[in-house]
Structure 1
Amino acid sequence: MEQSTLIRRGLGLRGVDPHKVSPGYTLLAHLTSPGTVKLIDNHGQEVHRWDLPYRPGRHAQILRNGNLAYNGVHPDAPRLFPLWQKYRGGVMMEVDPQGKTVSEHRDPLAHHDQHHLDNGELLYTTVEGLEYHKGGAVLGGIPNSEAPDGKVYADCIKHVSPSGELLWSWKAIEHLDPKKFALQPHYPREHWPLINSVYPLKDGNILASLRSVSAVIIISRETGEVIWHLDSTVVAQQHCASELEDGSILIFDNGTFRHHESATYSRVIQVSREDKSIVWEYKDPHPMTFFTPFMGGAQRLPGGNTLVTEAAFGRIFEVTQNGALVWEYINPDFADYSGLDAKEIEGYFPYPANALFRAYKYTPEQIPWLHPN
């Protein structure tokens, strides 16, 4: 009998409502692949793939010019602490449809998120090792759980030119109040506050999701100060904060250690910038059947549907504005971390997994090279 619960429940396309699903193609990068990115259609069929030279440092996106933006794992990055191997990146590539590298920026301390801007610039997350007295100012977390070198690694955000010149940077240790942004008690002190998404807002400011303190913030581009803060009374270990057309914020809310609730479930919420109220929410009708303890994505599609990535289980699905499920796909590829130069985490994740960090969907018009006629 098949021993994997995920495989037993079924893989690939699980269902589609052809009348309500958004037209287009879904892009996914299997995290424990050597570097495979796939584009699939609404029938779950692979229509294009890239086989890249580095395992995924999280996710891939298609740029306005039709090329692929890919964050690969840097081959020579320092090995800061075991879980660093899971979420680090560092090779930020732009690749054409044939797989040829158009441009590349490397930062061995980069992790989680990167944005290729339309002008060739990059906005991304990275870390710095704090001096011991500064690391001691970081509050919370599991006592004595700093990195093996005794340090706390704190997040930075960098904005660089196409040639790699630093245009703007921000350091958590300089701008976050340690009392207001203390690590939650279940987190090691090796990494604070663990920024898992960074997003350029239309007004020029920066939206960031801080997982280990359960916060979504807006950073003033001008001063570096936090000018908007959605705290742990609303979000719990969240990911993938993005800005919608009306200025509201879409968030994948994982739900681990959520305030005032013992049952664990994930949801997607749309939050008003003005009063922080939840103006739209999706959770499964049987809430506890939709959950990923880490990673996860939410993308509002042009017609109003939302694409959701239930990341740890390789599940991607699409829902309408009233919460009806109209498409579901389970990544059929499984592999563990062996052979991927990630010895530190082979024991943490010793099983074959189909996990994805985040998937994105694109209209046929956004990928003109796919069907040139």
Structure 2
Amino acid sequence: MLTNTNHTQNQQRPRDLYKELSQRKMVKINSDKLSLAGFLTACTIIVFFGGFLVRDFKLFPYNYYAKAMQGYKKLRNQVSGKLPKQLTRLDKPFPEISNDNFQPYEGLNLVTKLGYKNNTRYAAAEIVDSQSNIIHEWDINWFKMWPNPDHVAKELLPKEEPGAQIHGAVVMENGDLVFNFEYFGLIRINLEGQVVWRLPYLTHHSLHLHDDGNLWVSGRIYHTENTPELPHLTPPFYEDTILEVSPEGKILREWSVPKILRKNGYTGLLHPKAIGNFQLKLNRDRSKDILHLNDVEPFSLKMQEGIFERGDVVVSVRNINTVFVFNTDTEKIKTLITGKFINQHDPDFVDGNTISVFDNNQGNDLDPDNFKSRIWLISLKDNTSKIFFEGSLDKPFYTNIMGKNQWLPNGNLLITESRSGRGFEINQQGDIVWQYINYVDQEKGIVANISEVTRLPIEYTKLFGSEKESKKN
């Protein structure tokens, strides 16, 4: 029995040994797989967060990546037929003006826009007549007009033509053009396009020529360190500012928008999300631009005073859907309206008690075929509001971004529908009496962005009427 038992045990030992070796091998293989999985996971996490750091702080090799992406997007658009973001393909043509008896208010128009030729963008500033004939134009080029821009961080500088779009422009009494290179500076050029002066400040969005000859413009300061007066804002962030600038390009006065809000007890509007929220800190592009100032305009010296008076300024801050009026001497906010509109632009004083607001109304309508922007009239005297004009099926009007409006002396309203590439004028009944469309390809219904269409005072007709020839738009 003993011999048989030993024999049996001797027979089982090789099997047990093989089983043990197999188990060890399996453990080693599983351990190797876990190590490989852990390594790949760690690499993925490093690449993921490294990508955030490269993108948000523009670290090496961000510039190479940005150039590669520009080339890829151009090639992708050419292959797929997708339009660049500055272009829009209209679903259907805009309605023609049906009544020949409708008369637009007289005068020439300043049009600032983007053009697109041979797959290349260009910025344009033109004087056009009521038939859309070009009476005068300026050759706009950031790279030629602003050499050595040491007021702009190198990583933020434009990389390709046209460099920067025009956003906010006025024509001075002698025909000079003053305009914002969007987010890069304010510049004045003469009729021949020669630079008169440059203001190295991050100006943007809006420019207004006041009755006294001074210029009012939106600006911003980029903070990379904590600011004691704005302790709740975590750098990096933009501080929105309001500038009053002389015709010679000198800053006369300057106000901080977040400081005005804080001084008047509206600090809560500076906290779009909870303090310390991980998403807010991670998504640096959103946290940089908390307010997004897009318009500042002073009360006209020619307008009869009411609740609003000389020295008052109306301000639009898009990202918190808010419009307010404050007095420049006391910095006291007279009225603040928030939440009534969505991503609004260009509030204007209509009279001493009333303001109008260009309400983009972005995303408010869930029906994609029925998006409509609108123009509000808000009376502070009797605390009422009404929609003066809004888009409809027979009178389409919608732009999700940008947009301007200008009240004309005869009561008509000139509207810039930026993303649809159109400027149009309506009378008090809402009838369209004039329109300008920035076609890139009319047969295919492709239009390019318009920053603004402005009706110039009648005396400018004599100034630009000296041009011998005009070109068809």
Q: Are 1:19 and 2:92 matched, yes or no?
A: no
**Does structure 1 residue 362 correspond to structure 2 residue 456?**
yes
From the superposition, tell whether residues 192 and 313 of structure 1 become closer, same or farther in structure 2 (CA, over 3 Å): same
Q: Distance in 2 between matches of 1:16 and 1:60?
A: 31
Matches within 5 A, 1:329-348: 329-333=436-440
Matched, 1:154 2:239: yes
Answer whether contact 1:57 1:89 (CA < 8 A) is retained.
no
Report whether the alignment pairs 1:45 with 2:133.
yes
Distance 1:16 1:61 in 2: 31
Q: Distance in 2 between matches of 1:114 and 1:28?
A: 14
1:316 and 1:160 map into 2 onto residues whose CA distance is 28
Higher helix share: 2
Alignment counterpart, residue 254 of structure 2, candidates 169, 191, 195 = 169
Kindly provide the amino acid, as one letter, of the partner of residue 267 in structure 2: P
In the other structure, the counterpart of 1:92 is: 187
Indicate yes or no: 2:203 matched with 1:110: yes
Deviation per CA, 1:195-233, whole angstroms, max 9, x where unpaired? 10110113112111111111111122112232211211x
May I ask how many residue pairs the two structures share in their alignment? 325
Partner of 2:124: 36
**What SS does the aligned partner of 1:110 have?**
strand
What TM-score results when the alignment is normalised by the length of structure 2?
0.61
1:199 alignment partner in structure 2: 297
How far apart are residue 307 of structure 1 and its match? Answer: 1.0
1:53-91 deviation digits (Å, cap 9, x = unpaired) = 33433133333x252433242xxxxxxxxxxxxx42413
Q: Given the superposition, is the C-alpha separation of residues 330 and 162 from structure 1 closer, same or farther in structure 2, using an over 3 Å criterion?
A: closer
Answer whether contact 1:266 1:287 (CA < 8 A) is retained: no
**Rounded Cα–Cα distance in structure 1 between residues aligned with 2:128 and 2:251:** 36
Q: How far 1:269 sits from its partner (Å)? A: 1.8
Q: What SS does the corresponding residue of 2:439 show, helix, strand or coil?
A: coil
Report if aligned partners of 1:265, 1:287 keep a CA contact under 8 Å in 2.
no
Give matches, 1:64-83, under 5 Å.
Answer: 65-73=173-181
Q: How far apart, CA to CA, are the structure 1 residues paired with 2:248 and 2:459? A: 30
CA spacing shift, 1:197–1:16, aligned 2, 3 Å: farther
- Superposed CA offset, 1:1-51 (max 9, x none): x9866267459x954744223133322111355342122222222222222
> Which one scores higher on RCO, CA 8 angstroms, separation ≥ 6?
1
Cα–Cα, structure 1 residues 56 and 368, in superposed 2: closer, same or farther, change >3 Å? farther
Contact between 2:438 and 2:447, CA under 8 Å: does it hold in 1?
no
Of all paired residues, the percent bearing the same amino acid is: 22
CA contact (8 A) 1:235 1:253 kept: yes
Whole-Å separation in 1 of the counterparts to 2:218 and 2:434: 32
C-alpha spacing 1:247/1:28, structure 2 compared with 1 (3 Å): farther
Does residue 360 of structure 2 align to residue 254 of structure 1? Answer: yes
Structure 2's unaligned 5+ residue stretches are 1-80, 116-120, 143-163, 274-279, 301-309, 468-473
Cα-to-partner distance string for 1:86-119 (whole Å, 9 max, x where unaligned): x4241331533x4444x42413321212234455
Aligned residue for 1:179, secondary structure, equals: helix
Distance 1:306 1:89 in 2: 30
Q: CA 1:333–1:59 in structure 2 vs 1: closer, same or farther (change >3 Å)?
A: farther
Q: From the CA coordinates, give the structure whose radius of gyration is larger.
A: 2
Range with greater deviation from structure 2 (111-120 or 297-306) = 111-120
Do the aligned partners of residues 332 and 262 (structure 1) sit closer, same or farther apart at CA in structure 2, a change above 3 Å counting? closer
Tell me the TM-score normalised to structure 1 length. Answer: 0.75
Q: Matched residue of 1:51: which SS?
A: strand
Aligned to 2:397: 290
State the AA in 2 paired with 1:158.
L
What residue in structure 2 maps to residue 341 of structure 1? none
The one-letter code matched in structure 2 to 1:37 is A
Aligned counterpart in structure 2 of residue 123 of structure 1, from 216, 219, 233: 216
Structure 1 residues 238 and 67: alpha-carbon distance in aligned structure 2, compared to 1, 3 A threshold:
same
**Unpaired segments ≥5 residues, structure 1:** 74-86, 139-145, 335-351
